[in-house]
Amino acid sequence: MRKFTTGATRDTDTGKFDYEGFLSPLVLERFGQYMHKHRKQADGTLRDSDNWQKGIPLTAYIKSGWRHFFDWWRIHRGLKASNPPGKVQDFTFGEELEESICALLFNAFGYLHEVLKAKAKVE
């Protein structure tokens, strides 16, 4: 039992998940910016923020994740990210790095979401 100087009491937080400590507000904010930016579709409309949770095949996540990991790795080694034919990216070094890492996180989150969703249906 914890007792505060105000006299209020609460149970102990021992053994409970510390989400505030596990996550970085800087990273979550940047990831949110990335996700919002990429909501815009080719026709100019915005997809729902949770559109990805409707289901994307694992193969799409893994293939995209590898491309973004490769870009992150290239940038880490002091190289420019690889641009697919016909795609022009006008990022600064820092933006390019952040975009690559956010894209990798998106694919990892999406993949894990699909795995956990399937697991929840099985159990």
The CA distance from 16 to 13, in Å, is 6
Tokens of 10: 């609460």
Q: Is the pLDDT of residue 86 over 80?
A: no
Q: Is 79 helix (H, G, I), strand (E, B) or coil?
A: coil
Report which of residues 80 and 68 the model is more confident about.
68
The CA distance from 69 to 101, in Å, is 7
Tokens of 61: 């996540």
Q: Is the pLDDT of residue 77 over 80?
A: yes
pLDDT of residue 23: 96
Q: What are the backbone angles phi and psi of residue 3, rounded to the nearest 5°?
A: -120, 125
Q: Is the pLDDT of residue 27 over 70?
A: yes
pLDDT of residue 82: 82
Reference 68, options 33, 103, 94; nearest CA is: 103
Q: Is the pLDDT of residue 88 over 60?
A: no
Write down the pTM of the prediction: 0.84
Q: Where are the domains of the chain?
A: 2-122
Confidence of residue 80 (pLDDT cuts 50, 70, 90): confident
pLDDT tens, position by position, 42-70: 999 999 999 999 999 999 999 999 999 99
pLDDT of residue 79: 87
